[in-house]
Structure 1
Amino acid sequence: MFDANNTSNNNHSKGKVAIVGAGPGALDLITVRGQNYLKTADTIVYTGSLVPENMLSVAKADAEIVDTRSQVLEDWLPLVAERAKAGKTVVRLQDGDPSLYGALHELTVYLLERDIPFEVVPGVSAFQGAAARLQVELTVPELVQTIILTRMQGQTNVPTDEDLSSLASHRASLCLYLSAHHCKQAQEKLLEHYPPDTPMALLYRVGWDDEYVKLARLDEMVSLTHEQKLKRTVLYIISPALAGSPESRSRLYHEEHQHIFRPKK
């Protein structure tokens, strides 16, 4: 997949596609590189239901803005290719980070097959924005050191080896995307391994003006989702780290820990 020369000079050297991660929703959580692309783009293609419209406030006045919320890939990919081949700078603005549930694979294959230069600009993922919003560390020493990012089986198949009940057996910090429609089945699978009182955070549109954030118990996951009538743009975080542990601390900065920059006294 990776081609180190995909941004080199070729037949379309004057045009380029930038696949930019917009972050979780807040305008100032996009990277500087991503915002610079937005400021100079000739065409911006984005999904209005997932990316706040105010993200486009930095775009050029004459930039072509295309909202793809009602379209499928085949509707807008030819436009991206056409504009890039015409020497335009095209930004595909995606929510969160493009590498995570971002349909990035299909887009890069399409561009590579047509020899169109592109760059992927990373973004802050929802789980990172959520952890910051909750003011927690998801890898607390001696409590939990693993983060699992996953989703429930839906219209997109999940490999059998990645079934939620199997992943839950690790009792890691588990971040559950795209699963509000299946929260009942998800809660049942999680409770096979996590205690009912395991801390759970429900975050709806974190980083948006209308965000909803609630800390609760794992066994309240379904009732809380239904109470708020949430069906999409929901992230669940299940982790013992949400409860905190004053006694836990990193060994890296402990007075008993030595390394090459802090030798033993």
Structure 2
Amino acid sequence: MVTFVGAGPGAADLITVRGRNLLEKADILIYAGSLVNAEHLKYTKQGCRIYNSANMTLEQVIEVMEAGVAEGLSIVRLHTGDPSIYGAIREQMDLLAEKGIEYSVVPGVSSFCGAAAALKAEFTLPQVSQTVILTRMEGRTPVPEREAISKLAVHQASMAVFLSSSMLDRLCEELMAGGYKTDTPAAIVYKATWEDEKIVHTRVGELAAAARENGIRKTALILVGDFLGGEYDRSKLYDPSFSHEFREGAE
């Protein structure tokens, strides 16, 4: 069996209990070495074969999996954050399926959740935003035209922009072209939940300058939206006058 496991956003103790249990029992571990915290390797058992996929191609990763399955070994493919978000797992799963190899997926805490926790922020606030957009700038990996930042920005929703901290001048232009005001609150969260985490509070129009001033060029998540501001309406769920299945509201 091959199991894709989300390692969480950075801190080694933010992996799920199920993920840690599988990691401890794995005979083979293939981990994304350029992104996953190496602290996780301490939890592998003696004799576990460890492969750093940063130095491997897709085909080489599958070869290791296929050979391990042929030996009847337990294989963990450890991805950063949650495997379903920019994890490139679909291509791996499809090749395993073609070879008749069983696999499963264990979710993880995504970095956009880790960043919100670091900021002590809530993405969804009444009368501010009820939608979270997870996206990225176009780089070497193309982005469908209909998903250009400027088009997504029209919604004025809470936005988390991945894999784009080296393109902040362009990102600022796209965000403002779509309708975000220059003074819309924004934040740059470098290595959320890692020991060297760094948080920079700024505004949309100052994103690029703020990143340069703080020496941030990669491994950062960009959060944008009025959810980072101070105004919002109180939740109806805990309003004293609001009745629901579990509580009768006061008149």
Same structural fold, with TM-score higher than 0.5 when normalized by the shorter chain? yes
Counterparts of residues 132-211 of structure 1 (less than 5 Å): 132-192=117-177, 193-211=179-197
Deviates more, 1:203-212 or 1:21-30: 203-212
Q: Which AA in structure 1 matches 2:174? A: K
Q: Any conservation in 2 of the 1:85–1:116 contact (CA below 8 Å)? A: no
CA RMSD between the two structures: 1.3
Aligned length: 249
Asked if 1:241 corresponds to 2:230, the answer is no
Counterparts of residues 104-119 of structure 1 (less than 5 Å): 104-119=89-104
Secondary structure of 1:157's match?
A: coil
Shift of 1:264: 5.1
Which residue does 1:8 correspond to in 2?
A: none
Shift of 1:122: 0.2
Q: 1:231 to 1:72 in 2, by over 3 A?
A: farther
- Structure 2 unmatched ranges of 5 or more: none
Shift of 1:255: 1.8
Asked if 1:218 corresponds to 2:204, the answer is yes
Question: Hey, what's the Cα distance between the residues in 2 that align with 1:188 and 1:117?
Answer: 45
Shift of 1:28: 0.9
Question: Hey, what's the Cα distance between the residues in 1 that align with 2:166 and 2:57?
Answer: 21
Secondary structure of 2:126's match?
A: coil
Question: Hey, what's the Cα distance between the residues in 1 that align with 2:212 and 2:195?
Answer: 21
Q: Which AA in structure 2 matches 1:197? A: D
Correspondent of 1:259 among 235, 240, 244: 244
Which residue does 2:235 correspond to in 1?
A: 250
Shift of 1:137: 0.7
1:161-204, Cα deviation, whole Å (9 max, x unpaired): 11100100111110000112221111101112111111111011
Question: Hey, what's the Cα distance between the residues in 2 that align with 1:66 and 1:36?
Answer: 19
Which residue does 1:55 correspond to in 2?
A: 40
Secondary structure of 2:155's match?
A: coil
Secondary structure of 1:19's match?
A: strand
Q: Any conservation in 1 of the 2:240–2:249 contact (CA below 8 Å)? A: no
1:134-181, Cα deviation, whole Å (9 max, x unpaired): 111111111111100000111111111111001001111100001122
Question: Hey, what's the Cα distance between the residues in 2 that align with 1:215 and 1:226?
Answer: 13
Shift of 1:70: 2.2
Which residue does 2:8 correspond to in 1?
A: 23
Question: Hey, what's the Cα distance between the residues in 1 that align with 2:167 and 2:146?
Answer: 19
Percent identity over the alignment?
Answer: 42
Secondary structure of 2:10's match?
A: coil
- Structure 1 unmatched ranges of 5 or more: 1-15
